[in-house]
Amino acid sequence: MLVEAEGMFYRAQDGHSVLDATSGLWCVNAGHARKQITEAVHKQLATLDYAPSFQMGHPLAFETASRLVELLPAPLSHVFFTNSGSESVDTALKIALAYHRVRGEASRTRFIGRERGYHGVGFGGMSVGGIGNNRKQFGTLLPGVDHLPHTHNLQHNAFTKGQPAWGAHLADELERLVALHDASTIAAVIVEPMAGSTGVLLPPKGYLERLREICTRHGILLIFDEVITGFGRLGDVAFAAEKFGVTPDILTMAKGLTNGVIPMGAVAVSDTIHDEFMSRGDAAAIELFHGYTYSGHPVACAAALASLAIYRDEKLFARAEEMAPAFERAAHALRDAPHVIDIRSMGLVAGIELAPRPGAPGKRAYETFVTCFERGVLIRVTGDIIAISPPLILSEENIDQMFSTILDVLQTVS
For 197-248, the pLDDT digits (tens) are: 999 999 999 999 999 999 999 999 999 999 999 999 999 999 999 999 999 9
3-class SS at 319? Answer: helix
Q: What is the pLDDT of residue 71?
A: 98
3-class SS at 171? Answer: helix
Q: What is the pLDDT of residue 283?
A: 73
> Could you check whether the bond before residue 356 is cis, i.e. omega within 30 degrees of 0?
no
Q: What is the mean pLDDT of residues 253-263?
A: 98
Q: What is the mean pLDDT of residues 8-34?
A: 98
pLDDT grade for 280, boundaries at 50, 70 and 90: confident
Q: What is the pLDDT of residue 303?
A: 98
For 335-376, the pLDDT digits (tens) are: 999 999 999 999 999 999 999 999 999 999 999 999 999 999
Domain with CATH 3.90.1150.10 in the chain: 2-30+317-410
CATH of 2-30+317-410, picked from 3.90.180.10, 3.10.20.30, 3.30.300.90, 3.90.1150.10, is: 3.90.1150.10
pLDDT grade for 414, boundaries at 50, 70 and 90: very high
Look up the CATH number of domain 37-313. 3.40.640.10
pLDDT grade for 152, boundaries at 50, 70 and 90: very high
pLDDT grade for 285, boundaries at 50, 70 and 90: confident
Q: Residue 282 pLDDT more than 80?
A: no
Q: What is the pLDDT of residue 378?
A: 98
Please state which of the ranges 44-53, 75-84, 139-148, 153-162 shows the lowest mean pLDDT: 139-148
For 61-116, the pLDDT digits (tens) are: 999 999 999 999 999 999 999 999 999 999 999 999 999 999 999 999 999 999 99
Q: What is the pLDDT of residue 284?
A: 77
Q: How many CB atoms lie within 10 A of CB 155?
A: 6
- For residue 327, CA distances in Å to 147, 172, 320, 324 come to 33, 33, 10, 5
Q: What is the pLDDT of residue 387?
A: 98
SS3 content of the chain, % helix, strand, coil (to 5): 40, 20, 40
Domain with CATH 3.40.640.10 in the chain: 37-313
Half-sphere exposure of 159 (CA within 13 A, CB side): 10
